[in-house]
Structure 1
Amino acid sequence: MEIMISRILRYLNGCLDDDHMYRIGNFIVKHYTQMQNYDLDTFLAEGHFRKSEFYDFVEHLGYDSFEKFQERLLADHALRLSQIHARMLNIDETSFLRHLDVTCTSEALLSLIDQICDMIFHKQRVVVVGALYPRSVSVDFQTDMITLGKEVVEYHQFDQNFRFGEDDLVVFITATGRTMESYVEELVDQGICAADILLITQNDKYREYKNLCADEVIHVLGKFDSLQFNYQTMMILDLIRVRYYQNY
């Protein structure tokens, strides 16, 4: 059975409106590892939600009370933690490296991955930006990092209140660079330049594009092959979450 946070992420990542469902889901992602400290009144007050909005949210997930929803959320959190621990035991990083086709050496890539993990640890939030399918391959990364206590969200153009800050790490995923071209003006207006940016791309010229400059770049080899790029992106994100778990 799918765990609760994965169901919430599936909704959030396909969301089209900045409504109470979207805001409640994001609040849970932000406070996921503190959810045991909330009762209904505290949850509503801190999130500025109405009781009717909360019940609409949990009823879509099959629950009729805060307590039952919270119990399932906490049980699933413990289950996912145990699954992560079991998967990470004796994992062989060389199997990831053998399948990665990037411009740098394996040693340089691991060093860069460790730098990225350190950035993730010290940042308050990770924001994934990209086209629909490249973002979709990041869901397991998103789920595990949230389970480990890190807020990880996807950027949505419809969210006009979204603001980047210096405590954000942006993971910008674009094979050709078209997504960056489409988003750059509004991203700059929303303060993305204050954040640190990791760019994963096949098109190296986008490391510096207009006013958006990547702090770190993983250049995936290939000529805009979307299938290969998505596979490589998934492997890179898997390696990041493995190294993060091992080090932090």
Structure 2
Amino acid sequence: MIYTMTILDNVLDIANNFNISSNDRYIAYKLFEYCDEIEKMTLTEFLDKINISTSQFKKFYQNLNCNNYNALKKNITLWCQIRLEQLTTRCNWQNIIKTSNILINLTNYKSVEEFLDIKIIDDICYQIKKCNRVILYGSESMVSLTHDFQIDMRLLGKLVVRSSLNEDKAIFPNTDDFTCFFSLTGRIVNVLGESTRINITNSINKKLLITQNNSIITADYILRLNMKNEYYETYYIVLFYLDVIKTRYYYLYYKKECDK
């Protein structure tokens, strides 16, 4: 079977790859950030906005098999439209409830209400709504699960970016950012150097922690996986919580705006 990726997937993969040139990663990051606006931008307007030369940008989009800027933005716009149509169809709260009744069996939670705490989810969505961007921190195996979440949230109007844990490539949060840590035990912060760890974990912005049970990270909101087995089942629950946040955000904010 042949699997194909959309240009949105390719751009995001480049933006999330901290092992390639910082220039390519920056261009990809900006393309992803403006993916829903690029249709209305001329080449000059876009280059002025991201402060990149024509030659640098041309080399980048040719590597994406686009012959020119118009082909690039047409392709990106098309897949944004397709993905958004799929997203609005898939954001179904009744399906979330049905799924929670199945997945709870992988956890130690006693009730669905405890497993799926709507108040916490709504509070998280509120913080996402009012923040400038969401920054993700965690091991590669955990944050790699957020790929679809990043794309879907961007199309719902919110930028979600992934940070490296390397000292020289980590993203430091601003006060208007919302940070999310993926760490089963909290030990992931020990990968960071002391100054970087302090800047990220002690920043005054709001924080979400997705963890197994207890953690050394202090956060404003905590989603506890509370797993019976800490193996591949963990990924199911993490993906489920991401889907819950996305779907709830869609109903609370995006759909309400569209219905006005």
Normalising to structure 2: TM-score of the pair?
0.85
Equivalent in the alignment of 1:229: 234
- Please state if 1:132 is matched with 2:140: yes
Distance change >3 Å, CA 165–CA 65, structure 1 → 2: same
Identify unmatched segments of 5+ residues in structure 1. 208-212
Separation (CA, whole Å) in 1 of partners of 2:172 and 2:35: 21
Are 1:167 and 1:195, in contact at CA under 8 Å, matched by a contact in 2? Answer: yes
- Please state if 1:43 is matched with 2:46: yes
2:243 to 219, 238, 246: 238
Hey, which bits of structure 1, 4+ residues long, moved more than 6 A?
A: none
Q: Give 1:62 deviation, angstroms.
A: 0.5
Equivalent in the alignment of 2:178: 169
Identify unmatched segments of 5+ residues in structure 2. 254-260
Equivalent in the alignment of 1:210: none
Equivalent in the alignment of 2:256: none
Q: Which has the higher contact order (CA 8 A, sep 6+)?
A: 1
Distance change >3 Å, CA 196–CA 163, structure 1 → 2: same
Q: Give 1:181 deviation, angstroms.
A: 2.1
Equivalent in the alignment of 1:107: 113
Separation (CA, whole Å) in 2 of partners of 1:64 and 1:106: 51
Distance change >3 Å, CA 87–CA 160, structure 1 → 2: closer
1:84 to 67, 77, 87: 87
Single out whichever of 138-147 and 3-12 deviates more from structure 2. 3-12
Cα shift readout 1:150-175 (whole Å, capped 9, x = no counterpart): 11110014554733112211111011
Q: Give 1:25 deviation, angstroms.
A: 1.0
- RMSD value over aligned CA atoms? 2.3
Distance change >3 Å, CA 226–CA 176, structure 1 → 2: farther
Separation (CA, whole Å) in 2 of partners of 1:161 and 1:97: 34
Equivalent in the alignment of 1:193: 203
Equivalent in the alignment of 1:74: 77
Q: Give 1:85 deviation, angstroms.
A: 1.4
Equivalent in the alignment of 2:29: 26
Q: Give 1:184 deviation, angstroms.
A: 6.6
Equivalent in the alignment of 1:204: 214
Aligned-pair identity in percent equals 24
Distance change >3 Å, CA 165–CA 51, structure 1 → 2: same
